[in-house]
Structure 1
Amino acid sequence: MKFASIRMPTSDVLRLVGFWEKLTGVAAQWTNEEFAEIVLPGATVAISSSRLTDAFAAGSVEPSSNRTVMLELMVDDVDAERDRVTGSGVAVLMEPTTLPWGNRSMLISDPDGNVVNLFSPVTPDAIARFGSR
């Protein structure tokens, strides 16, 4: 089994794709006006309209209601990312903090309220687990 992607159905595809393009610096690959992918090393962030999802599995997802999944992106420098992303009105949920397991981490949310953890391993143990970016 190989983890391939996470899909986020949304009521505003253009807005959410724009956020993720700006956050990652990666241009979306569009299949049609209701489905795009941000292809990153390791996994893909897929974004689709909730209407598209409802066409195949009505009521199976509810956009802007995630309260359990956190998307995590390893970055070179969390503090530099904070400076870069907060200038564009991104909601910061947790300021950069070095956590007990050795990652420097900050939490933000995307326009649909999905929580995104930007982190960098900073202690020797964490760097050994993740390697350098």
Structure 2
Amino acid sequence: MEVLTSRILLTSSDPAALTDFYRDRLGLAIAREYPGGVVFHAGTSHIEIPAHMPPGQSGGDTLWLQVRDIRSERDRLAADGVPIGSEPETKPWGLVEMSISDPDGRTIIIVEIPADHPLRRDQRPPAQT
């Protein structure tokens, strides 16, 4: 399978509130709007809120969003009234993570990758000259 692009579809009993949260609270840029839905940019992926689809079970849905500065994002979100589920902390695997929830109760993990973390370093052996 060759995947050319991807997106996460988040259904909701209140698509307008969910759209407001991702647009106004998280500040995600809109990639496309269409009658009955909106698609947001989310790094190299997209988040779509299809108002024309019925809500599903949100219990297993989790979003993972990488940011440059988790502490300033935490302060910005808290100032905008977004409840912080867990404060930023360095996890045993080396990532700095915090969590919030969207209006439908989906967990959103906000992540900062420290400069010295293996995800930020080139793991290839040095080029031979």
What is the TM-score of this pair, normalised by structure 1? 0.78
Shift of 1:41: 3.0
Shift of 1:70: 1.4
The partner residue of 1:102 within 82, 88, 94 is 94
Q: How does 1:1-133 map to 2 (within 5 A)?
A: 1-2=2-3, 3-22=5-24, 23-27=26-30, 29-32=32-35, 34-49=36-51, 52-54=52-54, 61-62=55-56, 65-122=57-114, 123-128=116-121
Shift of 1:110: 0.7
Q: Give the AA of the match of 1:20.
A: Y
Q: Secondary structure at the match of 2:11?
A: strand
Q: Which runs of no fewer than 5 residues in structure 2 stay unpaired?
A: 123-129
Q: Note if contact 1:103-1:126 (Cα within 8 Å) is conserved in structure 2.
A: no
Instruction: Out of 23-32 and 8-17, give the one that drifted further.
Output: 23-32
Q: Give the AA of the match of 2:68.
A: D
Q: Note if contact 1:26-1:38 (Cα within 8 Å) is conserved in structure 2.
A: yes
Aligned length: 118
Go from structure 1 to structure 2 and tell me whether the alpha carbon gap of 1:111 and 1:10 turns closer, same or farther (over 3 Å shift). same
User: What do the CA deviations read for 1:64-102 (whole angstroms, capped 9, x no partner)?
Assistant: x42223101110011110000111221211110111111
Structure 1 segments of 4+ aligned residues over 2 angstroms from their partners: 123-129
Q: Which runs of no fewer than 5 residues in structure 1 stay unpaired?
A: 55-60
Q: Distance in 2 between matches of 1:18 and 1:27?
A: 11
Q: Note if contact 2:9-2:49 (Cα within 8 Å) is conserved in structure 1.
A: yes
Give the RMSD, CA atoms, in angstroms. Answer: 1.9
- Could you say which structure has the larger radius of gyration? 2
Greater share of helix residues, 1 or 2?
1
Go from structure 1 to structure 2 and tell me whether the alpha carbon gap of 1:25 and 1:35 turns closer, same or farther (over 3 Å shift). closer
Shift of 1:28: 5.6
Shift of 1:24: 3.4
Aligned-pair identity (%): 26
